[in-house]
Amino acid sequence: MISDINANTFDTGVDELERFALEECTKRQLLDRQVAAMVMPASHCELAVKFAKLGASVLAVDRPAKRSAIEDCILASGLTDQIRYAAITLPNIPDALPDAPYDIIFIRYGLDHLVYAEAREVIRQLMKKLRIGGKLYVSILGLKSELGDGYEDAEKSVEERFCHLPPAMIKKYGIKSKVCLYSERNLFLLMLEAGASVLRTLTTTYGNVKAVAVRV
């Protein structure tokens, strides 16, 4: 299930991965072609609105319980012709999605709430939802972030790593479910194993790990 925790909680300032994705959207719009983007989870629709303001058609994805809140956000944005909502609860990705295939898919958090094998399958399914040349942007909670302090499965392989955070971290961030924390190399291999062609990976100052991949 997608959690309410945002992977960018531990970062400040402009999110670099988000900037990469918005720049990509701008470049594609300059080719006089309608860009299709998907953002999951949509949260408060901030990123979906940014894509829409650049002219993209956007699918805002989140779990069913968020439908009313997200539809209210879409209505308030005044961009109802460009943004639509779809209910998805990871790890289940429907075969048919509105406006697919996409030029850009941005998954901001949620993969870390799955075991590694499930996360790999989600990435594989998302890659199939991209056009050839489309890009996938992934952000995930990092093993070297504050969340890794006292994390019981830190020494396990990423395939076996899945446990609750220490009580202090649960209390601080409200992450009550088990999580799999990633190193930058773990995320790189996850993308490769899922069939993605990885363009770049990075670790933020606060320890989150991020990646950009393209469908070839």
Which tokens belong to 59?
Answer: 């699918």
Quick one: pLDDT at residue 2? 40
Whole-Å CA distances, 149 to 133, 143, 145, 205: 38, 8, 8, 16
Taking the chain (216 residues) in consecutive chunks of 10 residues, what is each chunk's mean pLDDT?
43 73 94 90 94 96 94 96 95 92 95 97 97 97 95 97 96 95 98 97 94 97
CA 187 to the chain's CA centroid: 12
Q: Which two tokens stand for residue 32?
A: 């006089």
How confident is the model at residue 91, as a pLDDT? 94
Domain boundaries, the chain: 16-214
Query: Rounded to whole angstroms, how far apart are CA atoms 106 and 98?
Result: 15
Give the per-residue pLDDT at 159.
97
Contact by Cβ (8 Å): 90, 117: no
| Top-tier CATH class for 16-214 | alpha beta
Decide: 203 and 184 in contact? Cβ < 8 Å: yes
3-state SS record for the chain? CCCCCCHHHHCCCCCHHHHHHHHHHHHHHCCCCCCEEEEECCCCCHHHHHHHHCCCEEEEEECHHHHHHHHHHHHHHCCCCCEEEEECCCCCCCCCCCCCCEEEEEECCCHHHCCHHHHHHHHHHHHHCEEEEEEEEEEECECCCHHHCCCCCCCCCCCCCCECCCHHHHHHHCCCCCECCECHHHHHHHHHHCCCEEEEEEECCCCCEEEEEECC
The pLDDT score that the predictor gives to residue 34 is 86
Evaluate whether 134 touches 103 at the Cβ level (below 8 Å): yes
pLDDT at 1: 39
Residues 6+ apart with CB under 8 A from 171: none
